Chains A and B, each alone.
Chain A
Amino acid sequence: MTLQKIIDRFELKTLTNLEDREITGVYISDMLSDVMSSAQAGNLWLTIQAHKNIVSAANLIDISAIIVTNNKKVQEETIELANRFHVVILSSSLSTFEMATELIEAGIK
Chain B
Amino acid sequence: MQEATCSHSWEMTNVQSGFIITEKCFKCNKTSTYFSFEDRPPLEEYHEGEHFWNVMGNAQSVCFDLKCKKCQLEIPLKELSGLMMCTGCNEKCKIDKLMRKLEKDRVWVYIAFGFHPIDENQQLSKEKIAIIEDYFNQRRGSSTSKIKIVSYDMIDDFDSCSGEVIKDIGLLSLTPPEN
Interfacial residues, chain A to chain B (CB-CB below 8 A): 30-34, 36-37, 40-42, 52-53, 55-57, 59-62, 72-73, 81, 84-86
CB<8 Å pairs between A and B, sample of 7: A30-B171, A33-B60, A37-B62, A53-B165, A56-B83, A60-B136, A81-B87
A-B CB contacts (within 8 Å), total count = 69
Q: A53 near B136 (CB under 8 angstroms)?
A: no
Q: Tell me if B's interface is mostly helix, strand, loop or mixed.
A: strand
Which of B24-32, B70-78, B121-129, B140-148 contacts the other chain? Answer: B140-148
Top 10 A-B pairs ranked by shortest CB distance?
A: A56-B164, A56-B85, A62-B143, A62-B140, A33-B62, A33-B61, A41-B140, A37-B62, A41-B141, A31-B168
Q: B179 near A73 (CB under 8 angstroms)?
A: yes
Instruction: State the interface size on chain B (CB cutoff 8 A).
Output: 29
A22, chain B: closest CB distance, angstroms: 10
Contacts of B17 in A (CB 8 A): 33
B4 adjacent to chain A (CB < 8 Å): no
